[in-house]
Amino acid sequence: MAKLPIHHLRKRRTRGHVIADLSENFVERQALLCGFAVERNRMDYGIDMIVITFNRRGEVENGRILFQLKASDKPTISADAAAVFCRIDKADLLYWLEEKMPVILVHYDAKKNMAWWIHVQNAIESRQKAQLFVSGKQMTVAIPTANVFDSSVLKVIARRKNAIVASDK
């Protein structure tokens, strides 16, 4: 039996690892451009990142924006280019739909260094909710390609989060 060189036994950093980190970096940069703070989750229970927002005076605001990130070098785009398709675990979606704070699903295109987003609780239609109870552990969600993610969008999402917090008072 031939002996393999030691470097063949080492763990490797895959392209999947690289683009996952790039997606975190992309979303984190948008948050930092808004003056917000970011917490990356080490444990993945369906939320990859939490954004903490601040008002114009720099005071921390109540509530958090929750993010689930997906990344690809070649995202699957609809024939009419109106949507990018994203596979998600049904267990995560069930969790997100019960969450009070906004859950934002972001699909990052590593080759183009851009991303698309949806506010999960607002975007999942009753038709898609019914799919949760069909067999299989995953489902496909369509994210409109018009929903390009950037810092200006993140400010809008922060205002939505603030409206949710204010409605609880």
CATH number where 92 lies: 3.40.1350.10
Average pLDDT in the chain:
92
Is residue 4 assigned to a domain?
no
Is residue 132 assigned to a domain?
yes
Is residue 3 assigned to a domain?
no
- pLDDT value, residue 48: 96
Q: Please, what is the Cα angle at 106 between 101 and 107, to 5 degrees? A: 160
Judged against a pLDDT cut of 80, whether residue 94 lies above it is answered with yes
Specify the pTM. 0.90
Is residue 7 assigned to a domain?
no
Q: Which of 74-83, 94-103, 120-129 is predicted with the least confidence, judged by mean pLDDT? A: 120-129
Residues 6 or more apart whose CB falls under 8 angstroms from that of 160 comprise 102, 119
The one-letter amino acid code at 132 reads: L
- pLDDT value, residue 9: 75
Number of compact structural domains in the chain: 1
- pLDDT value, residue 124: 82
Residues 6 or more apart whose CB falls under 8 angstroms from that of 98 comprise none
pLDDT over 70 percentage in the chain: 92
Residues 6 or more apart whose CB falls under 8 angstroms from that of 105 comprise 67, 68, 70, 86, 88, 96, 117, 118, 120, 141, 143
> Reduced to 3 states, what is the DSSP secondary structure of residue 103?
strand
Is residue 76 assigned to a domain?
yes
Judged against a pLDDT cut of 70, whether residue 126 lies above it is answered with no
Q: Which of 87-96, 101-110, 157-166 is predicted with the least confidence, judged by mean pLDDT? A: 87-96
Question: If residue 128 lies in a helix (H) or strand (E), which one and from where to where?
Answer: helix 126-131
Q: How many CB atoms are closer than 10 A to CB 14?
A: 9
* Domain with 51 in it: 13-167
Judged against a pLDDT cut of 70, whether residue 6 lies above it is answered with no
